[in-house]
Structure formats: C-alpha cells, structure tokens
Structure 1
C-alpha cells in the first residue's frame, strides 16, 4: 500500500545546508509534529547551483549536497526520528550552463548525431544543418573572431581528444578531426556540431527546447523509454532502497505527455506517493486520470489568501491604482484578462519567439501568416495547457478568441485549427508545451509585476481579477479537495512564491485600510519615487510587507520586480537611469522614509499577525497534506527568490520549541509578539494532532457560527476537531468585537489544544473562545 504523509516540511538542500545538516534537524522536525521531510532536488547540479533544478548528472546525488553517503545518513536519521521522505525531481530539463559538467550535453556537442546522448535533447534538425545553436556570444561570430575572443586549445583531454574552444568562461569540445583546422578559425567553427550565435538570438532563433526562456536549461525527451530509464534509474532506486517514500515532480507541463510520464513513473516506483507542480486556473481541475496524489498546493494557497481579503477594499485599491496611473501619465489600466493577453503576446513575440517559430516549422504545409496567427492563439490560451483529447474546449476557446480579436488573421487561424487538434502531428504535440511556457512567463513573471494594487493577489496560482472569496466558497473548496484529492499538498509558502505567507498576510490588511494606505503611499512617494506610480506602489508594499528589511534585500527585490514587469526596464536591456529610482526607494526605506514606514507598519502589524495565524491554522487543519516551508513556523517576511531561500537558523527554532513546550507544561502561553512563538505554537500543536490522531481529521463540514459578527469567523469541523479562525480583523475591531457571536458547538465538552482551556458543551461565545489567540483548535472530550 502506498504510504502517504500527514504533513511535510520543505528543506532546501544546498552546499550551505547539506544532507548531513538536514539529518541534524530531523529530531526537531519530529518534535514539531512533522510527518515527512520534503527535500529540494538532490541530483548532481551545475557547480555552484543553490537550488538544484539544473541537474547535470542523473546517476548520482550531488557531492556538494552531501553525495550518496549523505543521503544514506539522512535517510537513517529520518527513519530514527519516525519521518518519511519526499524528494523533488526534475524530469523536464537539465543544466547546460557549464557544458563540461553535463556529460550528455558535452558528448552531443562533440559528436553531434553520432553521440548516443543526442537523442535525449529536443533539437530541431530542420535548422542549422542539425547543429545546436549556442547563443553565448556578445557579438557576431565574425566580430568575436576578429577581437580574438575565441581561443582554440588543441591539447587533448580525456573528454575532449581534439581539444577545446573557449569564449571567456564558456568552454566547448572540438569535433573529432577538427583540431587540425586551428589555423583557419572560420572553417573550424563551421566544422563543429554546434553553431555559436549572438546571445539575443536565443529569443528568435534557438533550435533546442528549453525551460521557459532559460537557454541554460535544455529540455530532455523523457517520453523516449531509454531517456526515461537513464534519467530515472537513480530516482527509482531511492524508492526501492528505502531512501525516499515519495516524489514531487517539477514542471510536468513541460513534458510532451505528462500523463504517460506519470504512468511510467508509477510503474518504476511501485506507485509511490507522487505530487505534481501544476498550476490550476480558476475552475480548472487536475486531470483525474493522472497517476498522482495531487498538486503541490498553490490552489489551496489562493483559497486561504482570498477568504481573508476584504473585496470592498480591493475595489478601492483599484481606484488608487487608476489614480496613480493618471497622475504619472500612464495609460488607463487594462482588465486582468486584457493585461495578460498583452503580456503573453509580448513574451511570445520576444523572449519565446524561437518556440513560436519552431511551431511554424513543424506545420505539415505552409500557411500564410502562420507565425502571427499561432502567437495570437497561444496568447489567448486560457490555462497552462491542454492534454488532448482532453482540454479541447480550451484550445477551441483560444482559437475562437484569437479569430475574434484578429479578424485579419481569421483565414490563417482557420487553417491552423484542425492541425492543432490532430495529435498525430508534431505541431499539435509541441503546442501545449509552448502555451505553458508563455503562460508562466507572461503571467507569473510579467503581469504579476504590473498588476500592483495588492501584492497578495499576485501569487502563483492566483487570478488577481478574483479579489476575495466568501466563507461559503472556501468551505466548498475544502469539501471538494477532501472528496477528490484528499492527499494533495496544501501550502502557504514555497521556494517559488512571490512573497512569503506572512508578507501576504500583512499586505492583505491594506484592503481593510485602503484610505490609510493611499495616504501613506503619497507620503512615501514624496520621499522617493521611480516616476512610475504602480511600480512605486509595488516597491513600497514590499517595504512595509517585509519590514524590517535591509536596503540590500529591498534593492534586489526592486530591481527584479522592475525588470520582470518589463515596462520601464528589463533583464536583457536594463535602463540604468530608471533603475536609479528603484534603488532610491530601497535606500529611502531605511533612510529618510523610515519613520513613515515604521509608523504605518505599526498600524497594520497586529491585524497582519492575526491574518497570519488564521491562515496557518486553516492550512494545517484543512483537507490535504499541509506543507511547512523551511523556517515559516516562526514569522517569515521573505520576498521572491532568492530572498526566500536564505539560511534558516534551526538551532534557534529547536531551542524555542523546547521553551514553548516547557512553558506550556506550566500553563504559560506565548504572546503574539515579535518572537513568532504564537505561530510556532499553532504550527506544532496542529501538526502533532494530525500526526498522532489522523482519525480526527476524516471529514469536512462547515461549523456553524451565528451572531452579529459571524462574517468574521471561519469554522471547520474535521470530524473530531473544530478549527476556528478570525477574518478581516480591522473590520471586526471597528464593530467593537465579537459581541453576541457564538460557535454552534455540540453538547460535548472540548479542549482547545492551543491554550489547554476546557470548553463546556453547547454554543461558545467567540469573545471568550478567542480572547487569547485569534484562532482555536477544539478537540471533543468523548
């Protein structure tokens, strides 16, 4: 029988926190109440990689992360602590930033089609005579040669018998027999199995599949049995040898056939617990036929965030955004739907034009205007991708929408339509891989940084046009998860979230005090501004949401945000003059604007913490498998990566947990203060209860709340446990508190496991139940 976790705890394994370091915290995780440890990718990655998603060798655990012996020691420590093990794997792509580090890539570059590894890479043989285009030059090849930037070394090496070619830090192998051409460099370059190209050609003329727009991550063809077997042999061994119990699959939407891949994975792992990193748009469901236990939890994150947001305030923040745009001379804001059409079209026209052009080359016959028409259809695609024959309605929607918006392309679109539905054609197989990449880059990495009125809304998996959901809608979503995907992960923070859960919880308060935020933002912009009102709003939200934050961290976030938005600056062509305004805001936050920032943070910090504690309890007690991202059992005010991958002080956390337990034994409860102990209390008590008494969490019903302030409570009955959380705390305070509001409780005594307080049977006044914390976790005394 497949083992499944009751909760997980994500650990980022890297050179600075190896598998042996992780082994040292297993007892702490067990004490916290965690069921399984959840590890970031472990296979050998590009040297110096801090995340591990750029695998270079599928046959071994990364030495920098502890190596195979480190994994053995970690597994032993985890088992001794009673923990299961979940490991993140990366089937879609490999790292090629340092070619020599990747045997498969290096061998293909040296031998071309004669390499046994060439088949693993998705290279378009229809261009460049089958040569792999490498966009690494800062100029044209002719200019690089003339400048003496390309250096040939014919000294034989074990992996390069004919020598190497170097371009600054880039080192490439010479093809067999070509070292003799060292006196004729143009001829030597022409004789290689790769073609050196200007770096911007990656946007338009790349000939190999990659991860999104990252040319240093080359896609591999795991749909081929030999490639799957070679890239998964070590992974399968982890399961069969008891070194891991389950797998988290990174970016399955990049694969040609995700469903088939999951079937094959289940076969070689004995149907081990498996999760997929899948973004679901509103109303979209995870394919029911996939052999998976669920998603990595962004759908749950969005539900929890939205139920804690005031829709009326979101409307006022929309008005503030319109004012900022008008004030700074920007065009009126587009609707969310129109905005993402714009940004997706921009991505398809620019960063991912190479992928669109490959679709054109894959057409069985020429179609006038095919590139423009395909780009419109891709931009109109409403979800990440279809899995034909399932998802035909999404493809039809995109075709119809593109034809409606571009009647000048209607004839071309009509010719393309049957080809995109025909799964026997290459273009139909590749099209879904492209729509997913364009969605990710156009929405998460562009539009999210342009739609700035409330940062909480622009989180992975979220649709910012939905500002809030009702308590009833929240309950419906939880019932659906329990019925359909009871072992799906739920999350609040990950290594990929744009903001940590506590930053979002604090920023959600802005929707309860939009007028105060407007006044404060005006003050802040008077101190420092980029001249772009909506971007100013984003950056100053980052400052107050993550406060206290260093100038260095805020600068790094600000530059990333501005470049991702790609309105006034960008990654490929940064505008140094504009970016001075970004830096000025970061410097002002800890300088002349500090008093304004601290005054406003003081106003919102308490309701922000109430939101944080409510969100944490809802996540931990609701259906699914809750994950705790490393360090977030205390307050964590991190921004987008790499900020959210900073080191975690586990020794401090272990000491605080011991203190917490010692105090609790004496009836001493932690206050809601800067220490974060209140959050650790809620995290540990709920995790322990789920681990030790899973039978108490076997159902889901909305628990009844009645009274004048009932809209401010969310209560769920999990079978033997009732969780109660507060929502919209500013509004609750304005109305004078809970008043006569009661939790409709069975006529059985209970214990609040957070406070140890005994609760009599029958209705419970929330003003009494929630007088210590804004949340409660009741276990009936049967």
Structure 2
C-alpha cells in the first residue's frame, strides 16, 4: 500500500518502541498513514541514530527488541497506521567488540567465510586489514594493551585473536593477527577497506554478493513478509556497487513494497527510470519548494555583498563553482587519499595486463583519476562493465570533463591516461575482475567526494543565503520560479507519483522554519546590511563565521518584544545549540580548523563570539528584526508547509514539524521526540493531512496536477495549483516585495464552476463565483486550501 503521508520518528535508547507506541493515537489523529522509523537493527550501544548497525539478524535490544517492534506495529494497526522502515544496506559499524561478522573476519582473516562481506584490499595490507583505532602511534600504546579472556584489550576496545596466538609475547602476538592495529591518523592514507564517506568507524558492506544480501536482509524481509513493515527507505544507495541490481533484488524479495531511495539529484538530473522504486526521499522536492519563497533579485544582491564582505579574506574567491572545485581537490588529497590510492592500484593492474596500456605511469593514472573526479557535477555514473552505456552515465563523466582533465598534462601522449580512466569508469575496457572493481569503486568514490566536497565543505564556505545550503540545493541559484515548480510537479505526477517529499529531515542543516527566517533576506537585502551594521561592534574571529552566525541567529530567534527575547535568552540550551552548529560549520569548512587538525584558539574565539553576540546580548537586536519580518516569514513557513503537503508525492513529516520547529544541523535536529502544543502550523498540517486521507484518489498515484494562474497586477506573488480538479492550493510568494508594490490590488484567483470550501478557514468559508479576489482569499492567512463540494 502506498502511504498517503509518513511521520518520521528518531528512535534512540531514551525514545524506544514503547514510547513511540504511546505517540500512535496522536499521530493517527494528525492524519498520517504510516510511521517512518529510523533504523531498528542492532547498533552500537548508546547510538542515537542507528546507522551504525552491528547485527542484521536482530532488532535492537535498547529499543525494546523484536517484540517491542511488533507490539508497536500492532498498536499502529489498531489506529489504521502502517510502518515504513529506514534500512542501511551500505555499511556497518567498524566495532570489533560488537560486530559479530567483523569479529570473525578479524579472527580468521581472508579465509573467513565472512570475508566476502566487506571490500577489503588484503594485498594492499600484506594480508592484514588496517584498524586505525589507536589514540597515538602504536609504539606508545603497547603499555596499554593486554590479553585477557582470550582477547586483546586496549582501553574499552576488544579485539579477537587468531587461533593459537593467545600465549605469544605482545609484539609477536600483534604481528600474528589478521589485522594491524594503528594510529587513527593513518586512516587517511593507509586504509585498505571501503568505508562510508570518510568515516573509518563505518565499514562498507558488499550487498552485491547474493549471499551477503540474503544474510544481511533476512530479518528485514521477515518483517515485511509478516506485515510488520509496509515500506522501506533506502539509505545512501549511491554507496553500493550496483544500486539498480540491488534494488531489483530487494523489490523481488519484498514483493514490490513501497520503497524510496535517499538519492541526491543534482540540478536537472533525473532518477534512473529503470530503478524499481517509488522515487526519492524528497530532497529534489525540498529544493523546489524552498526556491519558490526566495527572491532571485535579492539573492543576487546578497551574493555580491557576500563577496565584498567575506570573499576577500584569505583569497576565498566567493564564487560557487571554484569553491566546489577547491573543496574537491582538498577532500581527494586528504580525506579520500586512501580511496584514490585503491583506484590507482586497480588501474595499474588493468594497464599491466594489456600491452597497449602498459606505458601509462602511475602518476599519470593518479592525475587522470583526480582530475576527472573533481570535474564530476553529479554524484556518480550508473553503469556496469558489459552493460549498456546510458546517456546519463556518459554525461556524468563527460567528454568536456575529460578535455579539461587532459589540459593539466604537459605532454599530450601522457594525457591519454585520461581516456583510459574514463573508459574504465564507464565500463568500456572489458568485464574482468579489475575492470569491474574499478568501475564500481570509481562510482562509489565519486559519490563520497561529491557529498564531502559539496554538502560537507563547500556548503560551509559559500553561503550568501544559507537557507539554500541544503542537501540537493543549489546555493548559486537558490530561487525557483512558479513555472519551474509547475514543470517539476507535472513531471513528478506523471513519472513518480508516489515519490517521497520532505521539508525537514534528520539530515537537514536547518529546519524549514529556520530556512524561512533566512530566506526572507532575499526580499530585503538592505535590511541585512542594516543588521550587520548594528552588530558590527561584536568582534568576530572571521568574516565568514560572522556572516553565517548572524544569518543563523536571524532564522533561529523567535520574534517578539524585548521581554520575549529575555525569556528566550534565559531558556537554555538555545545558545549552546547555536554554538555547537557554528563549531561544526567551521570544522567542516576546513579553512581555519578541522575535525582532525583543530585550532583550539580559533575555536575558542568562535565560542566567545557566539556567546557575546548571536547567542548573547546582541540577540535582542536580532529579535527586533525578526519581529518586523515575522509576517513575511510566517507566509513562507505556512506556504511551504501547505505546498509540501498537497503537491504530488508522499509527504514525510519529520518529528515535531507539524508545528513551528527550530533546529540546526545534527545532532541538534535528532533530539528525543516530544509532542508539543499545537499552533497555527498544526492547524494547517492537520487539515491538509485529513483531506489527503479523505480523498486518496485526488492525491494518490492516479491523481493529476495542474497549475492555476492568478490574474491581475500581483499574479506573480500567488502560486496555485489544482489536484485532480477537486482541491486547489494557493499560497503567497514573496510577501514583503508584494507589500512594497502596493499589495494584491485587484488580483484574483479563477475557480472552476461549483462550490469551493476553504478547509483552513474558521468558521468555514465557501466560494461559488468564477474567481475570488486574493484580498478575500487571504484575509485570514496568507494561504488557502480549497476543496470542491460539488
């Protein structure tokens, strides 16, 4: 069954299945059809997210175990709700103490029947897997190691021992293992297993192996067959060797249950039409919805101002594409150095086996790999050696990228290494083991590079309007016109009617309310200049930090008079939450400090600045701005919520977002779920969800979408559309610009014949004319939801 709407709950030890069960009546009354649960399989003890799976065969005990999950499902069924489950096929926790499969590989080495579970380059490690887990060089950690109960202990860590080695002296014992304990800093260059992005604590899983797929999915498939689980969210499919083959195998095993993939689509990239899924998890929709409420003219002015204020510092440039390119080089040369080395080794073996390719030097192959990867504008190509080469795959590793990569070489003959690497990446040099391995790993590395260089680096360096810096976003082009939005929705309704849509998730850097509070600046860039002038007395350690911090404060500070602000400032932990988000930002940006090479003095300066200004006394100044902007932020917040809930696709509500929800980047946005008091947004959310439930044919896979164009001088400030001729959504766009232009005047919205009831109005309001003036339609709220009563 395709959901009508889902509600994401973040399960954690302090919010287990039993507490989720208590929320069921509330969520059923809200109007959703399914609970969307974060990962439920056994994870590292204490994990607050569950993506660090350690055992695929069991449901997490800390959450209440399998019986707790089944009881939650039974309770949900009693209230008409189903279960959608987030699953993690790409990786497991690199935790020898808790990961049973990994322990067997460490104990037996390459001969272990579980060795096929992981992408381990045994040859590169001289038959050992590198474990970069020690806090310092191994020589200084020997004194902290001991053998006890048949295991090697180091602090809280436990490592299995190869059979027959328990009684060896420590140095010989270490040499006799199938793993090499090492200083954590060696991971960057020496790692010989595939991991999740650059996180060495998460080891990649080879679900392309049929036996590994069967063993790692047995429990999930059992829950689906038993009716406990109705749908699946697939985490990070781009990390898999062959996403389409995996999804086909999964679809066959589940009988085709509703499945969406966390696939990030860049620009106008389309989800592969051959993937047997309902669609994406919705970041492509998020970008379009947010873009509707961003003014392109003001966004350009903010970008110019950003370059004036921020870019001159340390020659940071200030333009999007160069920022991404510099970030990509940095990530490849540092965080992904081990992954690049694997590709070079594999390419060398391919070339060594072909007399025509043997003269491609290792440095030339490495340069070609690097220069092609940094020029990829999509996350990865989708191609397998021997399979068809699609136009999309060719575009991912484009001829233009190859031409630019060749220009780096001084000698044209050496530049032909680019052609070799491109053909390998596109599966064009045969289907031998090394060719297959290179093709898959190139795509997996490209995905990791794109995520780390764009989402986790460039997004923290280039932020004229930080509301646009979300997964799948385009910071250099944050605005989306109504025409573009309508075209997107018409395509979704036609091609992917059951795809997921979102506004806020456990991965968004700013919740929808925070983004709305920032995006309003695009309508009033001069106000932003005024704010910067008023807070200029608060000295910042860096202009980029200041720019981001004040925008964060603007989106994160509720409106109100001075007494309201005093109350807000006294209510911890808002200031602490902002400080945490800013510290994460400067570390991710990697300009002055990083996670691994921290600058303690700079980070302390950031903390002092936040405490003194954006989260401190100056927040009162910010609050006066938010009070003045509140009507326009309210319009954007409510408008985005209504569009999200009524556009094509299956809306997913993140926990708590049925009301105003202020959250920053994780872990701030992954706090324990606590239902709060309803507000105006709750009224809108409940009305839209109940309408979806009452009229499934209108919003479901057979429903249609059509733009409804307002008429009159301010028509561009109204976005409206019809769902299957029975429901009309109308929202206000860019209301501050609208007010400056004189308001709606005689702008009106045409209506089809019949009676139309505004389900958001109280008392109910009915329209029967051929059109309704927007001053009338929006007299109570800047949005309207009209249902046909014919």
TM-score, normalised on structure 1? Answer: 0.93
Whether the 8 Å contact between 2:58 and 2:219 is mirrored in structure 1 is yes
Q: How does 1:257-656 map to 2 (within 5 A)?
A: 257-325=242-310, 329-331=313-315, 333-363=317-347, 364-365=350-351, 367-368=360-361, 369=363, 370-388=365-383, 389-390=389-390, 391-397=393-399, 398-404=401-407, 410-422=415-427, 424=431, 425=435, 426-530=437-541, 532-547=542-557, 550-588=574-612, 589-650=614-675, 652-653=676-677, 656=678
Provide the secondary structure at the position in 1 that maps to 2:130.
Answer: strand
Alpha-carbon distance in 2 for matches of 1:581, 1:406 = 43
How far off is 1:141 after superposition? 2.0
Q: Deviations over 1:550-600 (max 9, x none)?
A: 221111111100000100111001111111221023212343313212222
Equivalent position SS for 1:437: helix
Distance 1:764 1:449 in 2: 44
Return the offset for 1:605: 2.4
Q: In 2, Cα distance between the equivalents of 1:624 and 1:418?
A: 37
Q: CA deviation at 1:467?
A: 2.3
Query: Contact 2:310–2:544 at 8 Å: present in 1 too?
Result: yes
The CA distance in 1 between the partners of 2:323 and 2:481, in whole Å, is 26
SS at match of 1:57: strand
**Aligned-pair CA distance for 1:758:** 1.1
Describe the superposition over 1:636-661 as per-residue Cα deviations: whole angstroms up to 9, x where unpaired. Answer: 110011111112322x34xx4xxxxx
**Conservation of the 8 A alpha-carbon contact between 1:621 and 1:723:** yes
Q: 1:406 to 1:319 in 2, by over 3 A?
A: farther
The answer as to whether partners of 1:254 and 1:436 remain within 8 angstroms in 2 is: yes
Structure 1: segments with no counterpart, 5+ residues: 156-162, 657-676
**Cα drift, residue 383 of structure 1:** 0.4
Q: What is the alpha-carbon distance in structure 1 between the residues aligned to residue 644 and residue 427 of structure 2? A: 42
Does the CA-based 8 Å contact 2:545-2:582 persist in structure 1?
Answer: no
Superposition CA RMSD, Å: 1.5
Tell me the TM-score normalised to structure 2 length. 0.92
Task: Give 1:680-699 correspondences, 5 Å limit.
Answer: 680-697=682-699, 698-699=703-704
Task: Go from structure 1 to structure 2 and tell me whether the alpha carbon gap of 1:507 and 1:121 turns closer, same or farther (over 3 Å shift).
Answer: same
Deviations 1:733-781 (A, max 9, x none): 1122211000011232210000121112211000011010110000122
SS at match of 1:130: coil
Aligned residue in 1 for 2:788: 780
Question: Which residue matches 2:98?
Answer: 101
Asked if the contact 2:331/2:452 (under 8 Å) is kept, the reply is yes
Corresponding residue SS for 1:365 = helix
Partner of 2:146: 152
Contact kept in structure 2, 1:325 and 1:331, CA below 8 Å: no
Question: Does structure 1 residue 722 correspond to structure 2 residue 734?
Answer: no
Q: Give the deviation of 1:154 after TM superposition.
A: 4.2
Cα drift, residue 88 of structure 1: 0.3
Cα distance in 1 for residues equivalent to 2:457 and 2:93? 24
C-alpha displacement of 1:338: 1.8
The farther-off stretch of 54-63 and 754-763 is 754-763
CA distance in 1, matches of 2:664, 2:322: 27
Q: Where in structure 2 are the equivalents of 1:159-238 lying within 5 Å?
A: 163-182=150-169, 185-238=170-223
Q: 1:473 Cα deviation (Å)?
A: 0.9
Give the secondary-structure state (helix, strand or coil) at the position aligned to 1:704. coil
Structure 2: which 5+ runs fail to align? 353-359, 384-388, 559-572
* 1:407 CA displacement: 5.5
Distance 1:500 1:178 in 2: 53
Q: Retained in 1: the 8 A contact 2:553–2:615?
A: no
**1:704 and 2:729 are equivalent in the alignment:** no
Q: Quote how far apart the aligned CAs of 1:466 are.
A: 1.3
Looking at structure 2, the residues matched to 331 and 499 of structure 1 have their Cα atoms a distance apart, in angstroms, of 27
Q: Secondary structure at the match of 1:291?
A: coil
Moved more, 457-466 or 242-251: 457-466
* Partners of 2:310 and 2:318 within 8 A in 1: no
Residue of structure 1 in register with 2:562 after alignment: none
Q: Aligned partners of 1:141 and 1:45: how far apart in 2?
A: 28
Cα 1:713–1:406 change in 2 (3 A) is farther
Contact 2:15 2:673 in 1 (8 A): no
Instruction: Name the SS of the counterpart of 1:438 in structure 2.
Output: helix
Question: Could you list the per-position Cα deviations for residues 50-92 of structure 1 after superposition, in whole angstroms to 9, with x for gaps in the alignment?
Answer: 0000100001110111210111110001101101211000000
1:661 alignment counterpart: none
- Separation in structure 1 between the aligned mates of residue 551 and residue 299 of structure 2, nearest angstrom: 14
Distance of 1:435 and 1:459 partners within structure 2 = 19
The correspondence for 2:81, drawn from 76, 80, 83, is 83
Deviates more, 1:406-415 or 1:192-201: 406-415
Q: 1:767 aligns to what SS in structure 2?
A: helix
Instruction: Give the Cα separation in 2 of the matches to 1:635 and 1:240.
Output: 37
Whether the 8 Å CA contact 1:539–1:585 is kept in 2: the answer is no
Kindly state the Cα deviation for residue 406 of structure 1 after the two structures are TM-superposed.
5.3
- Deviations 1:464-492 (CA, angstroms, capped at 9, x unpaired): 12121211111111001001100000000
Distance in 2 of aligned mates of 1:249 and 1:240: 18
Q: Deviations over 1:115-157 (max 9, x none)?
A: 2211111100221222110111233222333xx13x12243xx
- Alpha-carbon deviation of 1:604? 2.0
Q: Is the 8 Å Cα contact of residues 123 and 130 (structure 1) preserved in structure 2? A: no
Task: Please tell me whether the aligned partners of residues 470 and 508 of structure 2 are also in contact (alpha carbons under 8 angstroms).
Answer: yes
Greater shift after overlay, 559-568 or 106-115?
Answer: 106-115
What is the CA-CA distance between 1:263 and the residue it aligns to? Answer: 0.7
Counterpart contact for 2:190–2:338, Cα < 8 Å: yes
Aligned-partner Cα distance in 1 for 2:684–2:601:
47
In structure 1, the partner of 2:356 is none
Which has the higher mean CA deviation after the structures are superposed, 477-486 or 163-172? 163-172
Q: Following the alignment from structure 1 to structure 2, what is the Cα–Cα distance between the partners of residues 581 and 722?
A: 51
CA distance in 1, matches of 2:619, 2:707: 44
Task: Tell me, in whole angstroms, the C-alpha distance in 1 between the residues paired with 2:557 and 2:409.
Answer: 46
Instruction: Tell me if structure 2 keeps the 8 A contact 1:450–1:535.
Output: no
Residue deviations 1:219-276 (CA, integer Å, cap 9, x gap) = 0111111100000000001110010101100001100010000011011111111110
Aligned partners of 2:631, 2:608: CA distance in 1, in Å?
Answer: 29
Cα deviation, residue 405, structure 1: 5.2
> 1:779 aligns to what SS in structure 2?
strand
Report if aligned partners of 2:12, 2:672 keep a CA contact under 8 Å in 1. Answer: no
Counterpart CA distance in 1 for 2:636 and 2:300 is 20
CA deviation digits over 1:344-366, x for unaligned, max 9? 11111100111110111111136
Alpha-carbon distance in 2 for matches of 1:709, 1:422 = 53
CA contact (8 A) 1:11 1:38 kept: yes
